[in-house]
Structure 1
Amino acid sequence: MSDQQLQNLIKMINQISDNNLHHGDESEATEVVANHIKKFWARSMKQQITDYATSDGVELNSVSRLAVKCLMK
């Protein structure tokens, strides 16, 4: 996957996280984001964002980071 594709994934997961903060606290938003990623993202997309989060992850917001951790369980 190219750098541009990774940047798009980072942007998407951060937007999904931002859009779900209305659920109350970060833990609720994290669960919603993780479930969204599990249901709608391709395996390759999930692998790329997981690899990014474990190697660097600096551009992920806090909810995105927590959601990716949920994916790794």
Structure 2
Amino acid sequence: MSDQQLQQLIKMVNQIAANQHGEKAQAAQRVAMHLQKFWARSMKARIIAYLDDDGSDLSPLAREAVACLKHERQAG
């Protein structure tokens, strides 16, 4: 996956997170569920790898959601 594709993933997850309202932990869980349902396996793997490598361009809520996604993938 190219750097441009990664930047698009970052933009998308930040937009999804920005559209969540309510309590932060529940919002992060909703974003993680959205990623789990609608993103391709390669997209999820790439955004998790980005979080592990740097993650600095992710909003705080997006960062928490990707961490939730990572945890769910490791547990399942």
- The alignment's TM-score, normalised by the length of structure 1, stands at 0.94
Question: Could you tell me the percent identity over the aligned residues?
Answer: 55
Q: Could you tell me how far 1:69 is from its partner in structure 2?
A: 0.8
Q: What residue in structure 2 maps to residue 45 of structure 1?
A: 43
Equivalent position of 2:13 in the other structure? 13
Provide the secondary structure at the position in 1 that maps to 2:27: helix
The residue number in structure 2 matching 1:66 is: 64
Runs of 4+ in 1 over 4 A off after TM superposition: none
Once the 2 structures are TM-superposed, how far is the Cα of residue 10 of structure 1 from its aligned partner?
Answer: 0.1
In the alignment, structure 1 segments of 5+ residues that lack a partner are: none
**Equivalenced residues, count:** 71
Q: Cα RMSD (Å) of the superposition?
A: 0.6
Structure 1 residue 28, shift from structure 2 partner: 1.2
TM-score (norm 2): 0.90
Structure 2: unaligned runs, 5 residues or longer: 72-76
Structure 1 residue 26, shift from structure 2 partner: 1.2
